[in-house]
């Protein structure tokens, strides 16, 4: 009897080639799909913010001091719950969450009567109809606000540098101001209609 008869060699299992990285990535299916979806959503949000895609609202900012600078104090101040109660969902999204309405969606864009545009959050008069002009952007636009009616701060969201405009009484977000407006100021206060109400001038 041979020693090999007592201890026969074990059969060799074929060595499988290493799984390619591409195949391994594909094997995590749902997780990979979720990652791709999140990346795509982030890219879409950036395109929206840059004005490449129309949208109803901009995503809310995380900081609570988004309405004006951190040092500003406003005459009218409510809790978030109270603001939600006082405003419509659309007004809240814009005034308190710095949203943006769709262009040409506000009736105030086509408002041509004499009167005053006021803050929808606290009723402070903001703009006179005498300074309104058609900017062909789809949002109510003015070349100057009423005296001390608005405040501004530097807005660097989405990798852009803009000048945000808010109500000086309650801090509600109104829109942005740009330097491509008509004379005499050369400014364009591009406002959200939902952030304002209109009060016709008495006859």
CATH of the domain at 186: 2.170.150.20
Question: Is 196 domain-assigned?
Answer: yes
By the 8 A CB rule, do 76 and 169 touch? Answer: yes
| Count: domains in the chain | 1
What average pLDDT does this structure show over 48-77?
A: 49
What average pLDDT does this structure show over 75-92?
A: 97
Least confident of 7-11, 92-96, 124-128, 151-155: 7-11
What average pLDDT does this structure show over 59-75?
A: 52
Which pLDDT does position 70 carry in this prediction? 52
Structural domain boundaries enclosing 115: 76-202
Question: Is 102 domain-assigned?
Answer: yes
Question: Is 60 domain-assigned?
Answer: no
Confidence bin at 203 (pLDDT 50/70/90)? low
Q: Across all residues in the chain, what is the average pLDDT?
A: 77
Question: Is 182 domain-assigned?
Answer: yes
By the 8 A CB rule, do 96 and 67 touch? Answer: yes
Q: What is the dihedral of CA 67, 71, 74, 78, to 10 degrees?
A: 60
What average pLDDT does this structure show over 135-145?
A: 97
Distance CA 64, CA 50 (A): 23
Which pLDDT does position 71 carry in this prediction? 60
Measured CA to CA in angstroms, residue 37 lies from 33, 42, 61, 135, 166 at distances of 6, 9, 21, 36, 34
Measured CA to CA in angstroms, residue 24 lies from 21, 27, 28, 90 at distances of 5, 5, 7, 46
Which pLDDT does position 85 carry in this prediction? 98
Distance CA 195, CA 202 (A): 23
Given a cut of 50, is residue 65 above it in pLDDT? no
Question: Is 34 domain-assigned?
Answer: no
Given a cut of 80, is residue 52 above it in pLDDT? no
Question: Is 40 domain-assigned?
Answer: no
Q: Where is pLDDT greater, at 72 or 47?
A: 72
Given a cut of 60, is residue 63 above it in pLDDT? no
Given a cut of 80, is residue 42 above it in pLDDT? no
- The residues that are catalytic are 190
By the 8 A CB rule, do 135 and 187 touch? Answer: no
**pTM of the shown model:** 0.67
Question: Is 117 domain-assigned?
Answer: yes
Given a cut of 50, is residue 7 above it in pLDDT? no
Express as a percent the part of the chain with pLDDT over 70.
65
**H-helix or E-strand containing 12?**
none
Question: Is 116 domain-assigned?
Answer: yes
Is omega for the bond preceding 184 within 30 degrees of 0, making it cis?
yes
What average pLDDT does this structure show over 29-55?
A: 42
């Amino acid at each position: 009897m041979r020693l090999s008869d007592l201890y026969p060699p074990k059969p060799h299992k074929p060595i499988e080639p290493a799984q390619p990285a591409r195949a391994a990535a594909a094997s995590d299916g749902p997780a990979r799909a979720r990652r791709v979806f999140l990346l795509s959503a982030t890219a879409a949000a950036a395109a929206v913010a840059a004005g490449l895609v129309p949208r109803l609202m901009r995503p809310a900012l995380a900081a609570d001091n988004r309405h004006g600078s951190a040092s500003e104090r406003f005459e009218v101040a409510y809790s978030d719950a109270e603001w939600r109660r006082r405003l419509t969902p659309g007004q809240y999204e814009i005034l308190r969450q710095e949203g943006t309405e769709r262009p040409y969606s506000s009736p105030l864009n086509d408002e041509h009567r004499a009167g005053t545009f006021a803050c929808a959050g606290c009723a402070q008069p903001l703009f006179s109809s005498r300074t309104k002009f058609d900017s062909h952007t789809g949002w109510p636009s003015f070349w100057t606000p009423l005296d001390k009616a608005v405040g501004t701060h530097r807005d660097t969201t989405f990798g852009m540098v803009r000048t945000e405009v808010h109500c000086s009484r309650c801090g509600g977000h109104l829109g942005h101001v740009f330097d491509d407006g008509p004379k005499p100021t050369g400014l364009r206060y591009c406002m959200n209609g939902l952030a304002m109400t209109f009060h016709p001038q008495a006859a």
